[in-house]
Amino acid sequence: MDHFAFFTSAPAGFFVGWGTLTLINAGLAQGKNRSGLAWWAISLFLGPLATLILVVLPKVRAKMF
């Protein structure tokens, strides 16, 4: 039996793609001075919608003091 057959199946590919998107969203959030961990968790549930929200949101300004 092929031990790697699970990783080439359609459901596994979906989860790998979704997981990759969560990491991309976390990096995008950190680039906009937002919490990468929080947006990673949000992306687990919202996926591409979270990406759209992150792209539309403005960058958070750094505190002056």
Instruction: Answer whether residue 38 is part of any domain.
Output: yes
pLDDT in tens, 5-38: 666 666 777 888 899 999 999 999 999 999 999 9
Give the tokens for residue 14.
């979906």
> For residue 62, what pLDDT is reported?
74
Lowest mean pLDDT among 5-9, 33-37, 43-47, 53-57: 5-9
- Alpha-carbon distance 65 to 47, whole Å? 35
Q: How confident is the model at residue 57 (pLDDT cuts 50, 70, 90)?
A: very high
pTM of the predicted protein model: 0.78
Instruction: Answer whether residue 2 is part of any domain.
Output: no
Q: Is 34 left (phi over 0), alpha (psi -120 to 50) or beta?
A: beta
Residue 42 has pLDDT above 90, yes or no: yes
Q: Which run of H or E residues covers position 63?
A: none
- Alpha-carbon distance 59 to 2, whole Å? 47
Q: Which domain holds residue 39?
A: 7-56
Instruction: Answer whether residue 52 is part of any domain.
Output: yes
> For residue 61, what pLDDT is reported?
85
Instruction: Answer whether residue 64 is part of any domain.
Output: no
Instruction: Answer whether residue 29 is part of any domain.
Output: yes
Number of domains in the chain: 1
Instruction: Answer whether residue 65 is part of any domain.
Output: no
Give the tokens for residue 5.
């057959």
Instruction: Answer whether residue 1 is part of any domain.
Output: no
Instruction: Answer whether residue 14 is part of any domain.
Output: yes
